[in-house]
A and B are shown apart, each in its own frame.
Chain A
């Protein structure tokens, strides 16, 4: 029997028009997020992408301080893009858990939840009487994720940490950039994201264990340790060679050729990971004779430092004479690896990314048309999805307190009067769009 073309088959298997007709991987999993800034919210966002019901608990009034981080001070409909991209599909409630009534509400939510993510300084929740030690009594199945700079029991436990603390202290910065320059901070909050991904992995493993045994557990993830973990051969090399990793700019010293190159009209990444690809690259450069040279014959010779430098130089000289697009076309034809150094505009217009919902446009009832990067991996049977955008502080208070906790109008009112619960203050970053009619986006 004639087999259907693979790409017809895979397009249908992952069909984006069927996503909302398929179940969600984390259906029925409730997550409490007690986090600010990036590390914690991204952890919960990675779960919300795949169907977990994430309840983001913020301090009434000001809320998550990330709301006030805005590129060049730019806000859109009273919200910052630096806040929106890590807060999708979440239910936003405002609870002051430092107040006894607020702590009590939290405990009632914990009894009905599966996962709690927090990124306070280690011991803060415990001091408030709502740490893992206390909460596991209420819900022994609780998976409690503590995110912090250095871990729950490090000697540095009292030191605050941001992403770039971990970039600095892990050795990440000292191994990125060009020799002779000042140390370079990566342009994204990479310590936060890497830590968050590790945290999500730990949670999913713990969730699997809980499905088998019913048992919850405490998880502890550190930003600094996360970047140490992803520094590939750095540590083995340091201890074996004694001299340690240096700065090599845009040239990979462990794969040859692999690097970023300047072209006539931009920059492009080029690599040849095996001999076949290298042959293709040489043909593309019209330099067939290079394959015959002893020093470039196989990957183990090409990666020797002297040869690697020469090869990088040969490719650099060639790439300056061609355009980005020509190189990408040659990569298709001759089967080596190449891709332009892309920016947001390239992504926005990229038909491939649009068709895969890696760039996801959706219609939010509160903010209108929004465009974000979609869930990372594409799952054929239980795909992730973008449902709604971020919300002002406490926007879903009534919905959660009524639907999840079964509180009545009077109880909610009393809690409001006690200032145990609340919503946004009149501040850009915290509040709804100015033209909000008081109804759009509200869930009963």
Chain B
């Protein structure tokens, strides 16, 4: 046996995929040029962030006053010229200006498109086409082009042509995510007992990730066939894929999945429970795990209780509520960390399905940031940027042994790379650029 195989899996895997070694390895997408013409959409930026982290050269195209999305920021905070929402997804991208409402600018866009492998845009369906720079026109110039458009209502179908703007929050609403999240009404209407949005921009992040997925599927297809294509991404529809059994249950049983607070209608216990000083997630839904949990809380007799004796009994709302109370009678006696320790100790003596008692402390972002594990894994990184200074951001997600992703810089100011990009791709020098500026092209 080689020494390599004597190492533990953990040590070996870490050696192979440690993000701190990323810079020494090749980048998977380093041969690609991406034009990201998204406007007012964090979804488009997330899509190009995925490609940029994996090594593609991404050129952000903004109007000369900057992308509207630079204004999306908590309480309006601006860091230098840019809001925080944008700053997080400006990573590894070059930033140029080009006023696409200007006819001359569209000709320049076409020239850039001749170089591009991928174009990303987030206008309403048909807008780019009307400007003469949609997929229909660009594919004539560049048949290998992959053209990815993000719009809540997609590029075809009855709702696509109505001209209604899409948004992060309508993606959440249309998809069903908002409908099934939140507390149910118990004693009449209450401000908090309503369909509830996820706090973060999940409607955009999921849309952007799905757009990257569609783009990468098209890229792999192009590698085999040489053909480009149009990728039509509705964030709302994509997110429907993630609404559990919403559609199947309705089709099979006529039932609509409703909001239930932190209860789950198909698995229980699978809930947040109150402890002495906070909350933890607590799950033990298969029968073997449930037995273990009842041992832990000192109520082994409940395994025989007809309300809880099988996973099917445990998932009626009435029994879920009863069990929630029983669990909390126990857990409120101890601090969260203690509850989790007790579970860990008990399951370390169990195997297989009986060990599936699963916890997780509910932490505020300030506590999450203090957890060293996330830093060790590169989930958080502190980046020094020549323009924006030192910031703490979420790092690239994937640990990969051959072509790991990386974060090179945070963002660029509006138009900061005009000289470089216009010279490199179109041979436009300083004087011509000044003319274009005068004519409001850039």
Whether chain B is bound by chain A comes out as yes
Known A197-B213, A201-B50; judge A341-B173 contact (CB<8 A).
Answer: yes
A132 to chain B, nearest CB (A): 8
Known A162-B283, A352-B158; judge A260-B244 contact (CB<8 A).
Answer: no
Tell me the interface secondary structure of chain A in the complex: mixed
Contacts of B177 in A (CB 8 A): 186-188
Contacts of B392 in A (CB 8 A): 235-236, 238-239
Contacts of B168 in A (CB 8 A): 252, 255, 258, 271
Contacts of A381 in B (CB 8 A): 218, 221, 227-230
Option from B54, B195, B220, B356 in Cβ contact (under 8 Å) with A211: B220
Contact (Cβ within 8 A) B50 A76: no
**Beyond A190-B242, A343-B180, A348-B247, 18 additional pairs, beta carbon < 8 A:** A71-B257, A122-B10, A132-B13, A154-B376, A159-B359, A164-B272, A169-B368, A185-B264, A197-B209, A204-B217, A230-B205, A235-B380, A235-B394, A271-B167, A273-B68, A303-B75, A377-B214, A380-B229
Option from A80, A219, A228, A340 in Cβ contact (under 8 Å) with B398: A219
* Residue A399 lies at the interface, judged by CB distance under 8 Å to chain B: no
Contact (Cβ within 8 A) B196 A182: no
Option from B68, B164, B363, B393 in Cβ contact (under 8 Å) with A332: B164
| Chain B minimum-CB-distance residue to A152 | B13
How large, as a class, is the contact surface on chain B?
35 or more
* Residue A194 lies at the interface, judged by CB distance under 8 Å to chain B: yes
What are 29 pairs between A and B in contact, CB < 8 Å?
A6-B134, A71-B249, A71-B257, A71-B265, A72-B255, A85-B245, A153-B377, A168-B279, A168-B280, A177-B192, A185-B262, A187-B182, A202-B398, A206-B400, A209-B26, A219-B400, A219-B401, A220-B398, A228-B380, A235-B380, A254-B85, A331-B164, A335-B165, A339-B173, A345-B256, A352-B153, A371-B251, A372-B247, A377-B232
Contact (Cβ within 8 A) B312 A240: no
Option from A161, A201, A221, A247 in Cβ contact (under 8 Å) with B209: A201
Known A273-B40, A379-B231; judge A234-B200 contact (CB<8 A).
Answer: yes
| Chain B minimum-CB-distance residue to A344 | B250
A232 to chain B, nearest CB (A): 5
Option from A7, A27, A127 in Cβ contact (under 8 Å) with B156: A7
Chain B CB within 10 A, most for which of A9, A153, A337: A153
Contact (Cβ within 8 A) B130 A358: no
Chain A CB within 10 A, most for which of B78, B197, B234: B197
A72 to chain B, nearest CB (A): 5
Contact (Cβ within 8 A) A153 B13: yes
* Residue A139 lies at the interface, judged by CB distance under 8 Å to chain B: no
Known A72-B315, A123-B10, A273-B68; judge A259-B169 contact (CB<8 A).
Answer: yes
Contacts of B274 in A (CB 8 A): 182
Bound Cα distance A27, B217 (Å): 11
Contact (Cβ within 8 A) B201 A232: yes
Chain A CB within 10 A, most for which of B163, B195, B210, B258: B195
* Residue B366 lies at the interface, judged by CB distance under 8 Å to chain A: yes
Contacts of A343 in B (CB 8 A): 176, 179-180, 246, 256-258
Contact (Cβ within 8 A) A342 B179: yes
Known A84-B248, A377-B238; judge A155-B257 contact (CB<8 A).
Answer: no
| Chain A minimum-CB-distance residue to B210 | A376
Contact (Cβ within 8 A) A260 B262: no
Contact (Cβ within 8 A) A233 B88: yes
How large, as a class, is the contact surface on chain A?
35 or more
Contacts of A162 in B (CB 8 A): 270, 281, 283, 358, 360
Bound Cα distance A126, B363 (Å): 32
Contact (Cβ within 8 A) B217 A379: yes
Contacts of A21 in B (CB 8 A): none
* Residue A171 lies at the interface, judged by CB distance under 8 Å to chain B: yes
Contacts of A107 in B (CB 8 A): none
Q: Within A321-338, which residues are at the interface with B (CB < 8 Å)?
A: 328, 331-332, 335-338
Mark contacts of A231-249 with chain B using CB atoms, 8 A cut-off: 1 yes-contact digit, 0 otherwise.
1111111111100110111
Contacts of B192 in A (CB 8 A): 177-178, 180-181, 249
Known A177-B196, A209-B403, A347-B240; judge A342-B248 contact (CB<8 A).
Answer: no
Contacts of A248 in B (CB 8 A): 199
Contact (Cβ within 8 A) B126 A7: yes
* Residue B304 lies at the interface, judged by CB distance under 8 Å to chain A: no
Known A123-B9, A254-B74, A344-B256; judge A165-B359 contact (CB<8 A).
Answer: yes
Option from A26, A131, A382 in Cβ contact (under 8 Å) with B9: A131
B376 to chain A, nearest CB (A): 7
Contact (Cβ within 8 A) B250 A348: yes
* Residue B307 lies at the interface, judged by CB distance under 8 Å to chain A: no
Bound Cα distance A173, B347 (Å): 25
Tell me the interface secondary structure of chain B in the complex: mixed
* Residue B373 lies at the interface, judged by CB distance under 8 Å to chain A: yes
Contact (Cβ within 8 A) B217 A26: yes
Contact (Cβ within 8 A) B366 A244: yes
Contact (Cβ within 8 A) B84 A262: no
Contact (Cβ within 8 A) A238 B365: yes
| Chain B minimum-CB-distance residue to A155 | B373
B421 to chain A, nearest CB (A): 24
Contacts of B172 in A (CB 8 A): 260, 269
Contact (Cβ within 8 A) B165 A337: yes
Mark contacts of B148-191 with chain A using CB atoms, 8 A cut-off: 1 yes-contact digit, 0 otherwise.
00001111111111111111111011111111111100000001
Contact (Cβ within 8 A) B161 A7: yes
* Residue B109 lies at the interface, judged by CB distance under 8 Å to chain A: no
Contact (Cβ within 8 A) A300 B158: no
Bound Cα distance A9, B379 (Å): 43
Bound Cα distance A164, B206 (Å): 18
* Residue B72 lies at the interface, judged by CB distance under 8 Å to chain A: yes
* Residue B261 lies at the interface, judged by CB distance under 8 Å to chain A: yes
Chain A CB within 10 A, most for which of B126, B177, B252, B253: B252
Nearest 8 Cβ contacts at the A-B interface: A377-B214, A165-B360, A81-B248, A269-B173, A73-B312, A187-B180, A175-B199, A381-B229
Bound Cα distance A274, B85 (Å): 15
Contact (Cβ within 8 A) A341 B195: yes
* Residue B20 lies at the interface, judged by CB distance under 8 Å to chain A: no
Contacts of B267 in A (CB 8 A): 69
Contact (Cβ within 8 A) A154 B373: yes
* Residue A200 lies at the interface, judged by CB distance under 8 Å to chain B: yes
* Residue B266 lies at the interface, judged by CB distance under 8 Å to chain A: yes
* Residue B423 lies at the interface, judged by CB distance under 8 Å to chain A: no
Mark contacts of A355-379 with chain B using CB atoms, 8 A cut-off: 1 yes-contact digit, 0 otherwise.
1101100000000001111001111
